[in-house]
Structure 1
């Protein structure tokens, strides 16, 4: 992981005139290692279970009095930006509110998905909305929110911010859906 991070940093310096500090490189390497280790554990666990066929999933409305906020990120490599979008619907499935934002710079998929979730949570907090289920298609982000691990990477700091928002708003929930 460290060699790949160093190689990638060298290429960014040569081709984009951008380089990270040693501390940032170490954090990225640790983050990648932890992600790889987590995937290996999940793979090992899944290999011990019988295969399950994937089924098509359909949007499910929340319970009466609740809102559902679907969140996703988009990656625009040519433009060097990541987009975030979210849409809120009520228990009848009717539109309530939506928003988009642009994040300068290229993000990893997990970072982009986490940033999209965080932006949606902050915006709904500003609007004073309560009883909200935030739904994302990033299982990695949901697992990281439920995990007690605390690291020093940018991703870990973002997870801490999301967890803090959830602790301040007990009527906010995060769930995963395919």
Structure 2
């Protein structure tokens, strides 16, 4: 039985009910996937006049679950072009607090061409996708510079989309230490980090 009320209240009720379960993350994925599949079936009937059989809908949901598992287990392979790459955290993705979006950002750099590319993805406290973006062909002189650009691009996107409560995550510990003043800042990053600090203050 699902509590009455608007969608947000219903979602809060579901989270409160199942957040302490041992497999809470997987359970909430099933809930979200199931609701999404019901919505897809309803839209198919209303807009396309196609009635999806319940067993077919369940098979599609199972297929969707398998695709999620494949994505979770995927490994990022090193590049032969001197790129900075990231492998999955052995402890898995750590969810942010309720009402907060986690923004994971990363950069890739080709030392031979002096060109980098950046990307970011936003997910909520149960891992539901809330947006993504990226930019390529950015002139960069180092891998640490492209990691800084990744943070700047992600923060600009957060402002543009109206995200107000965020956690920003990068795989560059060196950059994190620079931002927090634990190690000396590279001069070439001064302008980028100034932008990062300014944008953070506006969110």
Same fold by TM-score greater than 0.5: yes
Alpha-carbon deviation of 1:152? 8.5
Q: Which among 132, 135, 158 is matched to residue 101 of structure 1? A: 135
User: What secondary structure is seen at the aligned counterpart in 1 of 2:109?
Assistant: strand
Whether the 8 Å CA contact 1:72–1:86 is kept in 2: the answer is: yes
Deviations 1:79-130 (A, max 9, x none): 5421101000011111110011014334301101000110010011111111
Q: Please give the secondary structure, in 1, of the residue aligned with 2:199.
A: helix
For 1:153-164, list aligned pairs within 5 A.
Answer: 153-164=187-198
CA RMSD of aligned residues (A): 2.3
Determine the C-alpha separation between the residues in 1 that align with 2:132 and 2:160.
13
Instruction: Please state if 1:137 is matched with 2:171.
Output: yes
Gaps of 5+ in 2: 1-88
1:65 aligned to which of 94, 99, 122: 99
Higher relative contact order (CA 8 A, sep 6+): 1
Q: In the alignment, does 2:124 pair up with 1:87?
A: no
Q: State the structure with more CA Rg.
A: 2
Among 141, 146, 158, the alignment partner of 1:124 is 158
* 1:78 to partner: Cα distance: 5.2
Q: Which runs of 5+ in 1 are unaligned?
A: 1-54, 170-178
* Matches of 2:140 and 2:166, distance apart in 1: 29
2-structure distance, mates of 1:121, 1:69: 9
Q: 2:33 corresponds to which residue? A: none
Q: With structure 2 as the length reference, what TM-score do the two structures score?
A: 0.51
Aligned length: 115
Indicate the residue corresponding to 1:165 in structure 2.
199
TM-score (norm 1): 0.58
